[in-house]
Structure 1
Amino acid sequence: MTPGPGRSSRSGDAKTVTRTRSQDEAIIEVTWCYYQDGMNQNEIAERLGISRATVVNYLSEARRRDYVRITLDSDIFRDQQLARALVDRFGLRDAIVVPSSPDGADQSLDRVTRVVSDWLPSLLEPGDRLGVAWGETVYRVAEAAPRVTIDGLTVVQLVGSRPAALGFAAETCSATLARRYGAHCVNLHVPLLLSDKQLVDRLKQEPVIREQLEAVADCNKTIFACGTCTAGSHVVHAGLLDRSEVDACAEKGAIGVICGRLIDHEGNPVMREIENRMIAVTLDQMKNKDMGLLVGSGPERAKPMLAAIRGGYATHVATCSQTAAEMLELA
Structure 2
Amino acid sequence: MPANPASAVDRKPRLVSPKADPTAIDHMIRAAWAYYFDGKKQSDIAAMLGVSRASVVNYLQEAKARGYVRVTMHPEVFVEHSLSQELADAFGLTAVQVYPDGEDETASLKRVARGAADWLPRLLAPGDRLGVSWGQTVFEVSDAAADTPIDDMTVVQLVGSQATPLGFAAETCSANLARRLSAECVNLHAPLVLSDAGLAKQLSAEPSIARQLEAVRACNKTIFAAGSCSAVSHVVASGVVDEAGLQDYRARGAAAVICGRFIDASGAPIPGEIDARMIGVTLEEMRGKEMGFLVASGPERASPALAVIRGGYATHLATCTATARRLLEQAA
Counterpart for residue 219 of structure 2: 219
| RMSD (Å) for aligned C-alpha atoms | 2.1
Counterpart for residue 251 of structure 2: 251
1:84 aligns with 2:85: yes
Counterpart for residue 304 of structure 1: 304
Counterpart for residue 208 of structure 1: 208
Structure 1 position 98, deviation (Å): 1.4
Does the CA contact (< 8 Å) of 1:230 and 1:247 recur in 2?
no
Counterpart for residue 179 of structure 1: 179
Counterpart for residue 130 of structure 1: 130
Counterpart for residue 265 of structure 2: 265
Pairwise mapping of residues 45-60 of structure 1 onto structure 2 (< 5 A)? 48=49, 54-60=55-61
Q: Tell me the amino acid that sits aligned with residue 99 of structure 2.
A: V
Structure 1 position 237, deviation (Å): 1.5
1:326 aligns with 2:326: yes
Flag structure 1 segments of 5+ consecutive residues without an equivalent: 1-16
SS in 2 for 1:97: strand
Instruction: Classify 1:220/1:18 alpha carbon distance in 2 versus 1 (closer, same or farther; 3 Å).
Output: closer
- CA–CA distance in 1 between the matches of 2:80 and 2:36? 28
Counterpart for residue 198 of structure 1: 198
- CA–CA distance in 1 between the matches of 2:45 and 2:318? 38
1:67 aligns with 2:72: no
- Count of aligned pairs between the two proteins: 314
Structure 1 position 243, deviation (Å): 3.0
Does the CA contact (< 8 Å) of 1:133 and 1:157 recur in 2?
yes
Structure 1 position 53, deviation (Å): 6.0
Identical pairs, percent: 54
1:228 aligns with 2:225: no
Instruction: Classify 1:184/1:55 alpha carbon distance in 2 versus 1 (closer, same or farther; 3 Å).
Output: same
TM-score, normalisation: structure 1: 0.88
- CA–CA distance in 2 between the matches of 1:56 and 1:23? 13
Structure 1 position 291, deviation (Å): 0.4
- Residues 30-72 of structure 1: CA distance to partner in whole angstroms, max 9, x if unpaired? 3224324545656655654556665444323311332111010
Structure 1 position 107, deviation (Å): 1.3
- CA–CA distance in 2 between the matches of 1:135 and 1:53? 40
TM-score, normalisation: structure 2: 0.88
Q: Tell me the amino acid that sits aligned with residue 108 of structure 1.
A: S
Counterpart for residue 96 of structure 2: 95
Counterpart for residue 110 of structure 2: 110
Instruction: Classify 1:24/1:167 alpha carbon distance in 2 versus 1 (closer, same or farther; 3 Å).
Output: farther
Counterpart for residue 29 of structure 2: 28
Q: Tell me the amino acid that sits aligned with residue 124 of structure 1.
A: L
Structure 1 position 19, deviation (Å): 5.4
Q: Tell me the amino acid that sits aligned with residue 252 of structure 2.
A: K
- Residues 77-115 of structure 1: CA distance to partner in whole angstroms, max 9, x if unpaired? 1111111111111111111111222x0222112111111
Instruction: Classify 1:237/1:52 alpha carbon distance in 2 versus 1 (closer, same or farther; 3 Å).
Output: farther
- CA–CA distance in 2 between the matches of 1:66 and 1:19? 17
- CA–CA distance in 2 between the matches of 1:54 and 1:232? 45
- CA–CA distance in 1 between the matches of 2:44 and 2:151? 43
- Residues 206-256 of structure 1: CA distance to partner in whole angstroms, max 9, x if unpaired? 111100000001111000000101122111121112234333322221111
Counterpart for residue 14 of structure 1: none
Instruction: Classify 1:19/1:72 alpha carbon distance in 2 versus 1 (closer, same or farther; 3 Å).
Output: closer
Does the CA contact (< 8 Å) of 1:139 and 1:167 recur in 2?
no
Q: Higher mean Cα deviation, 103-112 or 276-285?
A: 103-112
